[in-house]
Structures are given as structure tokens and as C-alpha cells.
Amino acid sequence: MRQTGNVPRKPSVSPSKITTYLACPVKFRYTYLDPRARWLLRSKSYYSFGTTLHRVLQRFHDSGDTGVETTSEVLAAYEESWIDAGYNSAEEMAEAFGEGRQILERYVGDALSQPTGAKTLFVERQFRFDFGDFVLIGRVDRVDEYEDGTLEVVDYKSGRQSVTDEDVAADIAMNCYQLLLKKKFPDRNVRSRIIALRSASSASHSMSDIELEEFERDISMIAREIITENFDERKPVRKPMCESCDFLVICQQDPDF
């Protein structure tokens, strides 16, 4: 455990850590605990593409110094922000660049012609809540405030074509964000929304107080499992996701894999 002065740093758990742990504890170990394994992480074009779009939308919704307002400003910010890592060829990258351009033109056109009336309170903001033995941390794309006081946490998905309210309700990260927002603003109604950028569709879900309590119980249980887990003893278990995993080369060295 890393130390700050003489005070041990409290373990932190994030939506990414939780979903990685639930998918494969061995992958969790290699992603977050074993510095040698990081050398195996490959750049991925979908990650570069998503990060580029997030950076541009952050500037579009941010009224600060680096904010952009018009379609042409947004497209200029897109060119500036483009990340080219992970593409297999110049053609593949050019195709992705064109797609991103179309996505942003449509997004900005819709936002300017159909304003929601909501005020953006935060962009790319980290929220945290101390649960005693661990801290839950979540970085949200955006939080909007509606006229009735409702706070809506917004998450952009650059790879998805569609999204339903049920998808949002079942999304661990969105529920973590909602929980964190409710902890910070207990007197407000909170809601989460996913925007599927490729189709410009969106869906939302608001957890009831009972659902929030249940989720808090479940997430606390999983977080405590993570912080007390002995990852060295975990053996890799083959599953469909192994084929695209960066750590396959390590797991294949296990004779039982």
C-alpha cells in the first residue's frame, strides 16, 4: 500500500476497477497492481477515438477559457484533439476521423437547435465518497442541473449505436455516479443519462431511494472483497474475453490455463 507521510493511503475503488474485477480478478491484478504487466497494454483505436470525442465535448459544454461554441470551433477543436494511437492503417484512421466529424456535427446541431433548458454544472469532474475503509471515486463526463433542481449525470458512449433505459439502469458505472452525486447533494433528485454518440440517441434512469440503498450495500460488499482479496492466489480461468485480452500472453504460461 502506498504511504502519504506516516498516514497509509486509503484504498480507492472506481467503477472501472469494479467492472474489471467482476469480469476477471486476474485482469484486475495485472491492470492495477502489477506494474510489469502495464508494458503489455496495447493502444486501442476505439479508446483513442472515444478520448478524442470526450475532449471535444468537454470543451463544448465548458464555458471556461478553452470552451468552444459553434460547429466550426468544435471541428477545429476536434482536429487539435485527435489522438492517432492504435489504428492499424492510415485508411482506418481516416475513416474513423470522418465518422467522428459526422458525430460531432450532428451532436452540436442537435444541441444548438434543441436546447434542454438544463444548466451544465460540471464537466470531467471527479466525485468521491469516503466509506470508512475505502473511498469510492468516479469521474463523470458532465452533470446538468434542471429547472426543478434535478441533477443529471451524463456519460458519452462513442462505440454504441443504441441505448435503452434498462441499459442505463443496469450500468454499474452510471449507478456509482448516481450514488456519488446523491452523497454530495442529498436533497436533490438525481438521474443518469447515457448518450450513444453514433446514433445521437439517449436513455436515462433514476434510482429510487430503496434502489440506491441496495446498490450502496452491494457495491460496498464488492469493494471490501476487492480491498481484502489475495490476488496472488488467483488462477487465470479461460473465457471468451481472454482472446482479446492484453494479458493473454502471461496467462498462457500457467499450465492449467
For ligand SF4, the binding residues (CB under 6 A) are 24, 26-27, 30, 236-237, 241-242, 245, 247-248, 251
Cβ of residue 235: shortest distance to ligand SF4, in angstroms? 9
| Cβ-based nearer residue to ligand SF4, 27 or 205 | 27
Count how many Cα atoms sit within 13 Å of the Cα of residue 179 in the half-sphere of its side chain.
28
Q: Rounded to the nearest whole angstrom, what is the least distance from the CB of residue 205 to ligand SF4 in the complex?
A: 29
Distance of CA 192 to the CA centre of its chain: 13
**Which is it for strands 190-196 and 151-157: parallel, antiparallel or unpaired?**
parallel
Q: How far is the CB of 150 from ligand SF4 (least distance, A)?
A: 39
| Cβ closest to ligand SF4, residue 24 vs residue 151 | 24
Closer CB to ligand SF4, 43 or 189, in the complex: 43
**How far apart are CB 195 and ligand SF4 at their closest, in Å?**
29
Q: How far is the CB of 248 from ligand SF4 (least distance, A)?
A: 4
- When the beta carbons of 116 and 252 are compared against ligand SF4, the nearer one is 252
Q: Which is nearer to ligand SF4, 41 or 112 (CB)?
A: 41
Q: How far is the CB of 6 from ligand SF4 (least distance, A)?
A: 35
Q: Which is nearer to ligand SF4, 131 or 257 (CB)?
A: 257
